[in-house]
Amino acid sequence: MGNTTQFVPGLEGVVAVETELSFLDTAQGEIVLKGYDLIELSKTKSYLDIVHLLLEGTLPNDAEKKALEESLKKNYRIPDAVLDILKLLPASTHPMDALRTGVSALAGYDENLLDRSRKANLNRAYHLLGNVPNIVANSYHLLNGEDPVEPRQDLSYSANFLYMITGKVPSEKEEKIFDRSLVLYSEHELPNSTFTARVIASTLSDLYGALTGAVASLKGHLHGGANEAVMEMLKEAGTVEKFEEMLYTKLKNKEKVMGFGHRVYMKKMDPRALMMKEALKELCAEKGDHSLLEMCEAGEKIMAQEKGLYPNLDYYAAPVYWMLGIPIPLYTPIFFSSRTVGLCAHVMEQHENNRLFRPRVQYKGPRGLHPQD
C-alpha cells in the first residue's frame, strides 16, 4: 500500500488489524469472541473456558479444562527474585506500576526469549496467566507492609485469585461473580492497551515487553484506570443526593465522568456493563444493602438525560469489586489480569502474521530553518 494523506485523530474508526479473535459488532449489539457472543458465554462459561477458547481456539471439554487448570496451577508461584524486586518498591508505588515492574521482570526467567513460535508464546501465556494474579495480589500486600499470601492449589483459578487478594476463601456466589467479571474483561478487540501490545510485538519484541507496555496503557483513566476512579467518586459521594450533585457539578465544569462513554459503543450501553449491573444487584440483595446500586442507577439516569451517555464495563465493575471486599487500587490490576489472555492471544497473532506498525505524520512544524540563521 502506498501513502495516504488522511489524518484521523485518535485513529477513530480506522481498521488497523486483521484478527480472528474478537469484533465489536455494534450494529448487532454483539461482542464476537471466536464466533461466540461474549455476553452469552459469560452466562454459562468460566474464565478458564475463555482462556482455552482464546489460546487453543475451542471451548474446552472437561478433560481439557482440567488439564488447563493444572497447567496454570503449576505456574502460580512467582520467582523469589521477582518477589524481592517487588519488596524493594516504595510504599507510594501504584499497584499498576508494581505490576508493570513484575511483568517486565519475568522476561529474565525465560531461557527461550528469542523464540517467537506459537508453542513458545503459548507456554509464556500460561506462565503469565499463572503468575499475574500472584503479582497483582502480593505486590499490593507488600506495598502495604503485609506478608504475601501463598496461592492455594485446592481452590479454583478465580477463587484463588480472590483469596490471595482478600485473604479469605470466597463464597460460591462471590467466586462466581468475580469469575464473571474476569470473563467480561478478558478480551475486547482493539482497545488502546491491545493496540499498544501489538505495536510493540510488531517489532518482533517479546510477549513480556508487549504486556509491560499494555499495563502502562491500561493504567490511564481514559482506559482501565476508570474503574478505580468510579469507585473513588462513589465513595467520596456516599449518598444518592451527593452523587447526583457531584455529577451535575462535573458536567457543569465540562469534566468527564469516569465509567461513561466508549470510543466504539459511543452513545450505546456497553453490553458488559449490563451483566455487571446484574451482578451488583445480586450482591446488594445478598448483603441487604442497596446503596451502591441506587447511586449507580441515579448516575446512569443523569448521564443519559444530560449527555446521552451510557455506562461502560468499568462503571459497574467498580461497585461489584467494592462489594467483594477488594481494595480500590487493585481494580485496574485485576482488569489487566483478566485481559492477560486477550493480550497474549493478540501478540501471538501479531507474531504469526507480522507487519511492522510504522504510520506517518501530518507535519505541522516549521520548515526551511538553518542552524546559522
Ligand X SMILES: CC(=O)SCCNC(=O)CCNC(=O)[C@H](O)C(C)(C)COP(=O)(O)OP(=O)(O)OC[C@H]1O[C@@H](n2cnc3c(N)ncnc32)[C@H](O)[C@@H]1OP(=O)(O)O
Ligand Y SMILES: O=C([O-])CC(=O)C(=O)O
* Beta-strand relationship, 22-25 and 36-37: unpaired
62 is catalytic: no
List 206, 314, 346, 351, catalytic entry = 314
171: three-class secondary structure by DSSP: coil
313 binds ligand X (CB under 6 A): yes
Cβ 263 to ligand Y shortest distance, Å: 5
Of the candidate spans 85-93, 231-239, 256-264, 318-326, the one that interacts with ligand X by CB under 6 A turns out to be: 256-264
Total length of the chain: 373
Q: Encode 302-328: b = buried (16+ Cβ within 10 Å), e = exposed.
A: bbeeeeebbbbbbbbbbbbbbbbebeb
82 binds ligand X (CB under 6 A): no
Binding mask 200-239 for ligand X (x = CB under 6 A): ----------------------xxx-x-------------
CB 193 within 8 A of CB 57: no
Nine-digit cell at 219?
Answer: 493504567
346 binds ligand Y (CB under 6 A): no
219 binds ligand Y (CB under 6 A): no
| Look-up of cell digits 505486590 | 139
309 binds ligand X (CB under 6 A): yes
Of the candidate spans 105-113, 231-239, 257-265, 343-351, the one that interacts with ligand Y by CB under 6 A turns out to be: 257-265
| Look-up of cell digits 506498525 | 357
Sequence-separated (6 or more) residues with CB below 8 Å from residue 101: 85, 86, 89
Burial class (CB in 10 A: 0-12, 13-18, 19+), 244: middle
188 binds ligand Y (CB under 6 A): yes
Cβ 22 to ligand Y shortest distance, Å: 10
Distances in Å between the alpha carbon of 345 and those of 53, 121, 123? 10, 9, 12
33: three-class secondary structure by DSSP: strand
List 52, 127, 262, 351, catalytic entry = 262
Residue of the chain from 73, 94, 221, 263 that contacts ligand Y (CB under 6 A):
263
Residue nearest to ligand X (CB): 261
Cβ 192 to ligand Y shortest distance, Å: 6
Nine-digit cell at 112?
Answer: 527461550
Cβ 226 to ligand X shortest distance, Å: 3
For ligand Y, the closer of residues 198 and 262 by Cβ is: 262
Residue of the chain from 60, 130, 170, 191 that contacts ligand Y (CB under 6 A):
191
For ligand Y, the closer of residues 176 and 263 by Cβ is: 263
314 is catalytic: yes
**Touching ligand X, residues 1-60 (CB under 6 A):** 10
CB 106 within 8 A of CB 340: no
Distances in Å between the alpha carbon of 320 and those of 83, 178, 185, 273? 29, 8, 13, 11
Of the candidate spans 90-98, 123-131, 164-172, 261-269, the one that interacts with ligand Y by CB under 6 A turns out to be: 261-269
Distances in Å between the alpha carbon of 60 and those of 63, 74, 127, 182? 8, 19, 19, 17
Residues 219, 332: Cα–Cα separation, whole Å = 7
Instruction: Provide the binding-site residues for ligand X, judged by CB under 6 A.
Output: 10, 222-224, 226, 256-263, 307, 309, 312-314
The binding site for ligand Y (CB under 6 A) comprises 188, 191, 223, 262-264, 312-313
Q: Which positions are annotated as active-site residues? A: 262, 314
